[in-house]
């Protein structure tokens, strides 16, 4: 005969025990706000807000701002101070009388001010690169944060399943109490033995034990969920039944945007190669103290200054231009391979989720018929028990069979809804409103 207690499936028990151990080692943040009612959308929003990784958003934005500011400072005048002391083996000698004799040690101390006029677009490219790097990092963060939805789903629906089973346990206890009352009436009338009441009472006590386990399992789920969202979820917290979502048809995962932004980074690399081939133009002013100075016929220390326009055109990058462009193309191709691999794996998982959806739809449909039949049998058994034509043990069997049918339907309904939300998350349709 089947176990008369109202207990969950073995694989769920193992998972609940594991979660209970984790919870026992965790400490909920003191002072956290207690939540009386919670929707799954609110759980998403709070989990995202509470997750430590979210703080990187501001850090990434500040990094971009500093990088852009640094690049913009390339247009500011650049001041440099230098000094040079040399000793040379020979100096210019003039055989004619009256010309000075130059010393072999020479000195030059000067400051130079450079002002960029044209950089070939390098600063502009640096600003764009900083912007692209910012969106790449932000999108990479979005990819990591998106995994929170699935983790919240597992805990939220796990707690919902416990709520349903607690409700079903209450119905079972009500049926058992009803049977006890009828059996006591029969004992009082002398039409039944006391043992019939004892069997029903023992079964009721087993249902009480099951309720204790169910409440403990629910607490494990809600405690873990509370850690994720930074709120206290107690026994009075109501988890609202999520609405049935409209299933998405197109993939819009954050990974796809991440791949697109990465492609933009390779485009900027190509632009940088063009910038390296362009000349740089600016003007400068230099002034200082030197021996000899600008008057090369004087061997004394003297102040000097001069200025002009400087043109720099480095064509050395021509040697590596072709290879660097090929490297960018290879990077794009690797990125496209990663994207197509991701889409293929997503499509495979989508097919699996679709099969699961169809399976649970069929199961729930059959569950409705089974529950209807079991309920009819239980009602007939109740009448038979009252009339003394059915034993208490047989009554318990029928009551447990009806309770098991309801439990299976409840399990399948929650699993169906969870698969729907898992499907939405897979397609990238889960969002925080």
Q: Please tell me which residue, 31 or 305, carries the higher pLDDT value.
A: 305
pLDDT exceeds 70 at position 4: no
Q: What is the pLDDT, as a whole number, of residue 20?
A: 45
Cα dist. 395→14, 178, 350 in Å?
31, 11, 45
405: left (phi over 0), alpha (psi -120 to 50) or beta: alpha
Does position 254 have pLDDT exceeding 90, yes or no?
yes
Stated pTM of the model: 0.77
What are the residue boundaries of the structural domains of the chain, listed by start? 10-76+121-278+319-427, 80-118+280-312
- For the domain made up of 10-76+121-278+319-427, the CATH class stated in words is mainly alpha
The Cα–Cα gap between 160 and 298 comes to 96
The tokens describing 367, both together, are 């569950």
Report cis status (omega within 30 of 0) of the bond before 292.
Answer: yes
3-state secondary structure of 302: strand
Q: Worst-scoring range by mean pLDDT, 24-38, 71-85, 248-262?
A: 24-38
Nearest to 422 by CA among 23, 161, 40: 40
Count how many residues are written for the chain.
Answer: 433
DSSP result, 345-369:
HHHHHHHHHHHHHHHHHHHHHHHHH
CATH of 80-118+280-312, one of 1.10.3470, 2.20.200, 2.50.20, 3.30.70: 2.20.200
Look at residue 35 in the predicted model and tell me its pLDDT: 65
Decide if 119 contacts 391 (C-beta within 8 A).
no
Tell me which of 86 and 21 has the higher pLDDT.
86
List the beta bridge partners of residue 118. 281
């Amino acid at each position: 005969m089947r176990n008369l207690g109202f207990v969950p499936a073995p694989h769920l028990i193992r998972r609940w025990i594991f979660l209970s151990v984790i919870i026992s080692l965790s400490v909920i943040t003191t002072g956290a706000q207690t939540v009386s009612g919670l929707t799954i959308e609110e759980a998403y929003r709070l989990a995202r807000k509470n997750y430590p990784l979210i703080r990187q958003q501001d850090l990434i934005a500040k990094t971009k701002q500093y990088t852009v500011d640094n690049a913009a400072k390339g247009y500011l005048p650049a001041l440099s101070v230098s000094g040079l002391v040399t000793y040379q083996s020979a100096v210019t000698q003039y055989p004619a009388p009256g010309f000075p004799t130059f010393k072999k040690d020479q000195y030059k101390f000067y400051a130079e001010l450079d002002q960029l006029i044209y950089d070939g677009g390098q600063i502009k490219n640096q600003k764009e690169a900083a912007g692209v790097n910012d969106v790449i990092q932000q999108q990479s963060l979005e990819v990591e944060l998106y995994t929170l939805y699935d983790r919240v789903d597992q805990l939220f629906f796990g707690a919902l399943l416990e709520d349903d089973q607690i409700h079903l346990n209450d119905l079972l206890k009500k049926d058992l109490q009803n049977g006890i009352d009828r059996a006591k009436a029969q004992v009082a009338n002398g039409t039944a033995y006391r043992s019939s009441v004892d069997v029903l009472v023992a079964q009721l006590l087993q249902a009480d034990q099951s309720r204790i386990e169910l409440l403990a399992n629910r607490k494990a789920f809600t405690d873990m969920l509370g850690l994720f969202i930074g709120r206290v979820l107690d026994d009075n917290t109501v988890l609202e039944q999520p609405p049935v979502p409209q299933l998405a048809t197109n993939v819009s995962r954050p990974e796809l945007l991440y791949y697109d932004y990465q492609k933009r980074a390779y485009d900027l690399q190509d632009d940088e190669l063009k910038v390296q081939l362009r000349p740089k133009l600016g003007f400068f002013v230099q002034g200082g103290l030197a021996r000899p100075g600008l008057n090369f016929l004087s061997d004394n220390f003297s102040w000097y200054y001069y200025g002009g326009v400087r043109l720099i055109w480095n064509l050395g990058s021509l040697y590596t231009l072709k290879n660097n462009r090929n490297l960018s193309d290879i990077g794009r191709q690797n990125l496209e391979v990663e994207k197509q691999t991701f889409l293929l794996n997503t499509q495979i998982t989508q097919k699996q989720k679709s099969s699961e959806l169809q399976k649970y739809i069929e199961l729930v449909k059959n569950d409705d018929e089974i529950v209807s039949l079991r309920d009819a049998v239980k009602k007939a058994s109740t009448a038979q028990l009252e009339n003394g034509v059915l034993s208490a043990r047989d009554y318990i069997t029928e009551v447990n069979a009806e309770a098991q049918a309801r439990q299976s339907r409840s399990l399948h309904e929650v699993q169906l809804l969870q698969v729907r939300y898992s499907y939405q998350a897979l397609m990238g349709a889960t969002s925080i409103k």
